[in-house]
């Protein structure tokens, strides 16, 4: 009986290959098929449409048309660099501020245990359950002339703040406020890669607080820091509501230019060209960052 079973196993024929697919279909590929289809329909397809539209002439509302570079030429000639510069600046400065704010906060959260940690995490996550534009409108009502801060100060001290919105720092504040969780939680995960024993060993060997931070904590937590920074940089590049509500027209971001082109501008091709440039910009930032670091090694996969 045993021999028969062994024989049967050794003679088991190779799994037949699909007639449609000449290569062997792996189980991993089959398992990934739903997400591949979803990504193709929901991501690659629209991206391809946007790319094609960006080469269509002005006034095109459907794909057929003679391709041209006029949209890209217009973008260069019509000072769109101002919007790109502001979007890049806002993304960069916001990431720097978020790093400064979130790192110590994450360290503190790691050290707090039990119910207090859960409560603090809940308090940080709770705003995410409220729509972004409502939260931003709340800050407008807080900071604006005659708003909560101005009114309360006037009643209590007789002093007035006037309007504290309608400026670039207000926009930066809005971006940092909205995207704080997107920096905090990856850093928290990154700090999870720092074993307490490694830190204690470093101290035992005479390392100063700064050296332990520089040589032990920071490198081990870097995957989280990097992921948080990239995430915040890319989504801050598309900042729209923050500039609209808190900036009140003091500057124009690329996202606002794209919205204008698709709506009042009746210029889908230009909106598409601006979108393509934004995607290239965000993609380049990710590519550059990932070139400098080996995420697999950091995560200990090899």
Partner 1 sequence: MNSGNIFRNFSSSRRQFLKQSAALAAAVGVAPAALSAGAGSANAAAGAAYADELWEKTKADLAGMSDIRMDLNLHSWEGYTEEPVLDPFSRQTGANVNPQMLISDPAAVNNLRGGGTSTWDVINLNNSWQRNQLFPEGLITPLDKDKFAPLYDMNVTGFEWPYHWALDESGEHLLGMLQRYGPAGLAVSTDAVDPQTMESGGYMEMIEGAKGQYGILDYENWVIMHTCIASGFIPFREHTADEMAAFEENIFKLFENAKKVSDDQAALARDMITGEIIGTYPGSVYTVSAARLEGETQLVNVVPAEGPEETKTAERPNGQGGIVWIEITSLVNNPNPTPLAEAFLIYCHTPEAAYKVAAKAPGTLNPVVQMGAPEVLSQFSQDELEAVHWGEEGSWLASLVDRCIDFDINPDYDAMHDLYTQAKRARGA
Binding site for partner 1 (CB under 8 A): 58-59, 61-62, 74, 78-80, 82-83, 86, 140, 144-146, 163, 166, 244-245, 248-252, 257, 260, 262-268
Nearer to partner 1 (CB atom), residue 110 or residue 248: 248
The least distance separating partner 1 from the CB of residue 257, rounded to whole angstroms, comes to: 7
| DSSP H stretches of helix in 166-246 | 168-191, 196-204, 209-212, 218-237, 241
Nearer to partner 1 (CB atom), residue 136 or residue 285: 136
Do residues 126 and 180 make contact, with C-beta atoms less than 8 angstroms apart?
A: no
The least distance separating partner 1 from the CB of residue 105, rounded to whole angstroms, comes to: 31
Nearer to partner 1 (CB atom), residue 65 or residue 181: 65
Counting Cα atoms < 13 Å in the Cβ hemisphere of 57 gives 3
The least distance separating partner 1 from the CB of residue 165, rounded to whole angstroms, comes to: 9
d(CA 62, CA 48): 14
Nearer to partner 1 (CB atom), residue 193 or residue 260: 260
d(CA 71, CA 74): 5
Q: Alpha-carbon dihedral of residues 263, 267, 268, 270, nearest 10 degrees? A: -120
d(CA 93, CA 239): 13
Question: How many CB atoms neighbour CB 16 within 10 A?
Answer: 6
Nearer to partner 1 (CB atom), residue 267 or residue 272: 267
The least distance separating partner 1 from the CB of residue 109, rounded to whole angstroms, comes to: 36
d(CA 66, CA 231): 37
The least distance separating partner 1 from the CB of residue 274, rounded to whole angstroms, comes to: 11
d(CA 118, CA 83): 41
Nearer to partner 1 (CB atom), residue 229 or residue 253: 253
The least distance separating partner 1 from the CB of residue 35, rounded to whole angstroms, comes to: 28
């Amino acid at each position: 009986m045993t021999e028969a079973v062994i024989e049967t196993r050794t003679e088991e024929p190779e799994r037949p290959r699909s007639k449609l697919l000449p290569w062997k279909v792996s189980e991993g590929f089959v398992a990934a098929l739903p997400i591949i289809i979803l990504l193709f329909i929901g991501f690659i397809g629209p991206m391809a449409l946007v790319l094609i539209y960006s080469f269509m002439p002005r006034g095109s509302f459907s794909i057929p048309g003679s391709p041209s570079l006029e949209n890209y030429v217009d973008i260069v000639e019509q000072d769109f660099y101002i919007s790109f510069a502001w979007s890049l600046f806002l993304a960069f400065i916001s990431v720097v501020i978020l790093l400064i704010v979130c790192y110590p906060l994450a360290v503190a959260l790691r050290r707090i245990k039990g119910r207090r940690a859960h409560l603090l995490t809940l308090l940080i996550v709770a705003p995410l359950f409220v729509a972004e534009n409502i939260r931003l409108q709340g800050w407008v009502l807080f900071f604006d002339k005659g708003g909560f801060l101005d009114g309360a100060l006037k009643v209590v001290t007789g002093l007035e703040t006037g309007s504290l919105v309608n400026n670039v720092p207000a926009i930066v504040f809005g971006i940092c406020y909205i995207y704080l969780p997107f920096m905090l939680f990856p850093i928290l995960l990154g700090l999870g890669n720092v074993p307490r024993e490694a830190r204690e060993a470093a101290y035992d060997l005479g390392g100063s607080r700064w050296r332990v931070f520089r040589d032990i904590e920071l490198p081990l937590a870097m995957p989280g820091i990097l992921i948080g920074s990239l995430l915040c940089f890319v989504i801050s590049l598309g900042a729209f509501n923050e500039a609209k509500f808190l900036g009140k027209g003091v500057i124009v971001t690329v996202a606002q230019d794209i919205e204008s082109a698709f709506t009042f501008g009746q210029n889908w091709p230009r909106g598409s060209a601006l979108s393509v440039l934004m995607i290239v910009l965000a993609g380049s930032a990710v590519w550059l960052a990932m070139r400098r670091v080996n995420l697999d090694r950091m995560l200990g996969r090899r």
